[in-house]
Amino acid sequence: MIRLLNFVSAVLALPFRSKLRLEAENAALRHQLIVLRRRLHGRVRLTNRDRWFLIQLYRWFPSILKVLTIIRPETLVRWHRAGFRCYWRWKSRPLGGRPPIDTELRGLILQMSIENPLWGAPRIHGELLKLGVEVAQSSVAKYMVKRRCPPSPGWRTFLRNHARDIAAMDLFMVPTVGFDLLYAFVIVRLDRRDLVWINVTANPTAEWVARQITEAFPWDQAPKYLIRDRDRIYGSLVTRRLRAMGIRDKPIAPASPWQNGFAERLIGSIRRECLDHIIVLGEVHLRRVLKSYADHYNCVRTHRSLDKDAPVSRPVQRTGSIKSHAILGGLHHHYVRV
């Protein structure tokens, strides 16, 4: 029934609508004649009143585009859109209230909320006040990062807080010039990536590994946790030694070397930066090479994870001439100012 009434009303209004459209087209033509009569010489000059008049006709009767001759239809459409932009710019103008917050302050608020997931708006607002930044707490809450879950530190923060008490160990094989296999044992701390211990043997046993752990952590320098893989060489003798030293043994899951990523990354660096470029002659030779590389790794080599610093922090030298010292026969160099 409603659809029928709408159809009947549309049919009844059709003659009047056509008449109004015709009158609008006549008005557009008449106004164009007025503009042309007003022209003295040169191109047609349109005032803002002329533009406003044509724009209003176009809003009510878009069919007048067919009778426009002194301007292009796309020009009228462009005027119409520009008028809408000006209107909404005027509509959204500031009517007083708080001054707008600049982009730099918004970025600072966002950075604080991302770097400190446990901070709320009052905490960030207080920190900004101590920095001499006057801003409302509601504005701080507006520009903070929106979280869908309760705030909690990520795994990176968790590991960084516990890395000082965690170490990792691993064994890797090195072939010699005579095709014999030697075994290198490494222990690395997760805090500063420092290579705590490195040694070589031709016949690794659980007793030998337990002795290396004891020599690597004398007195009270032992970590609380020691990560290792599930190699059978870490037998009951090693676990008892760790328990006696107050170290909690943390074996990784089977066939999951990525869980011991720090030790694996260290072994990869040793191979790429040292052993892949040297022919090992024997156990004594390998031990001497690895000891030299360990000194270079701890005291000289910079790490991206340490902000381009060495595990044993290197001071910044700004004065003096630069000299280089060869390491491992010139495989690497150490640059200092003297």
Residue 324 phi, psi dihedral angles, 5° rounding = -115, 145
Q: Are 322 and 336 in contact (CB under 8 A)?
A: yes
pLDDT of amino acid 274: 94
pLDDT of amino acid 11: 47
pLDDT of amino acid 85: 83
Separation between Cα atoms, residue 313 and residue 328, nearest integer Å = 21
Element (H, E) at 175: strand 166-175
Claim to verify: residue 40 and residue 168 sit in the same structural domain? no
Q: Are 259 and 252 in contact (CB under 8 A)?
A: yes
Position 299 in a domain: yes
Structure tokens given for 34: 């007025």
Position 279 in a domain: yes
pLDDT of amino acid 312: 92
pLDDT of amino acid 162: 83
Claim to verify: residue 141 and residue 46 sit in the same structural domain? no
Segment 280-286 long-range contacts (CB within 8 Å, at least 24 positions apart): 280/174, 280/175, 280/176, 280/177, 280/182, 281/176, 281/177, 282/176, 283/182, 283/200, 283/201, 283/202, 286/174, 286/176, 286/182, 286/184, 286/200
Claim to verify: residue 126 and residue 198 sit in the same structural domain? no
Claim to verify: residue 131 and residue 266 sit in the same structural domain? no
List CB contacts of 84: < 8 A, sequence separation 6 or more.
none
Separation between Cα atoms, residue 186 and residue 208, nearest integer Å = 13
pLDDT of amino acid 12: 56
pTM: 0.60
Q: Are 256 and 230 in contact (CB under 8 A)?
A: no
Claim to verify: residue 172 and residue 297 sit in the same structural domain? yes
Q: Are 292 and 274 in contact (CB under 8 A)?
A: no
Claim to verify: residue 196 and residue 258 sit in the same structural domain? yes
Tracing tokens 């209003």 back to the chain, one arrives at: 56
Separation between Cα atoms, residue 123 and residue 222, nearest integer Å = 38
Enclosing domain of residue 146: 112-152
Whose CA is closest to 219, among 193, 245, 198? 245
Position 96 in a domain: no
Separation between Cα atoms, residue 35 and residue 331, nearest integer Å = 87
Q: Is the dihedral of CA 48, 51, 57, 60 positive or negative?
A: negative
Whose CA is closest to 190, among 290, 268, 303, 275? 303
Instruction: Centre a 10 Å sphere on the Cβ of residue 103 and count the other Cβ atoms it contains.
Output: 8
Position 97 in a domain: no
pLDDT of amino acid 90: 84
Low-confidence ranges of the chain (pLDDT < 50): 4, 7-8, 11
Separation between Cα atoms, residue 280 and residue 289, nearest integer Å = 9
pLDDT of amino acid 95: 74
Three-state DSSP class for 5? helix
Q: Are 313 and 324 in contact (CB under 8 A)?
A: no
Q: What is the DSSP letter of 98?
A: S
Instruction: Centre a 10 Å sphere on the Cβ of residue 328 and count the other Cβ atoms it contains.
Output: 15
Whose CA is closest to 288, among 167, 182, 179, 168? 182
Look at the chain and report how many structural domains it folds into: 3
Separation between Cα atoms, residue 59 and residue 217, nearest integer Å = 85
Three-state DSSP class for 145? coil
Position 302 in a domain: yes
Claim to verify: residue 179 and residue 214 sit in the same structural domain? yes
Which of 135, 152, 169 finishes a domain? 152
